[in-house]
A = this chain, B = another copy of it.
Amino acid sequence: MARKNTTKYAILGMLSFGPRSGYDIKQKIEQSVRHFWSESYGQIYPILRRLVDEGLATKTTEPQETRPDRHVYEITKKGERELEVWLTEPIESRPIVRNELLLKLFFGQNTSPEILMQHIRQFREEIAATLLHLESVKAMCLDPGASDECDDEQAPYSLMTLHCGQHIMNGYVDWCDQTLDQLKELWLDGDQRAAVAEGDEA
């Protein structure tokens, strides 16, 4: 079957920034890479255990009185090597894109332009929110000392991925606007023209 298990490397990568718990890793992912990557606890915890089994990470338990013990994982030399090897390998591309909006639009004949326009407006709003988020992360990255998230070494790489997100999101926004115009025309060519004619009679 030979599937990827990219999650393993995503987690190793997060550990390469320093020791972290499963909870920390999840937070970090949500903060920094969520516009192009996500992981759930259901993936993270089992894989952390596996990393220890394979000697790619070590586990230290920090007892806490009131809360569950913190299980902190640290990448090993072997883990670092395995991460480096993965980084060197060509990308298993075919970026799994499944865009439900485009699918609905493609089948647009079976519904009305108005409905499609609503979907696109909703999509556009979500994109705009993502752009705001990207902008705020960027500000954090550029402001030295403002965060322990992004030191000088990491900043350039964080910024490159952020720029990619901004580029693509801006592209979506442009397309949305353009497509909304086109749908409006389709709509005018359709039932609206009839409605206008009816209106004239009244």
Contact = CB atoms under 8 A, between A and B. Distances in A.
Number of copies: 2
Number of chain A interface residues as a range: 35 or more
Interface in A6-52: 6, 9-10, 13, 16, 32-33, 35-38
A122 interface: yes
A179 interface: yes
Interface stretch (A57-65, A66-74, A154-162, A194-202): A154-162
Contacts of A167: 171-172, 174-175
A55 interface: no
A91 interface: yes
Contact of A123 (B91, B97, B158): B91
B157 A178 contact: no
A1 B168 CA distance: 31
B179 A164 contact: yes
Interface of A: 6, 9-10, 13, 16, 32-33, 35-38, 80, 83-84, 86-88, 90-93, 95-111, 115, 118-119, 122-123, 126, 153-154, 156-158, 160-161, 163-164, 167-168, 170-172, 174-175, 178-179, 182-183, 186
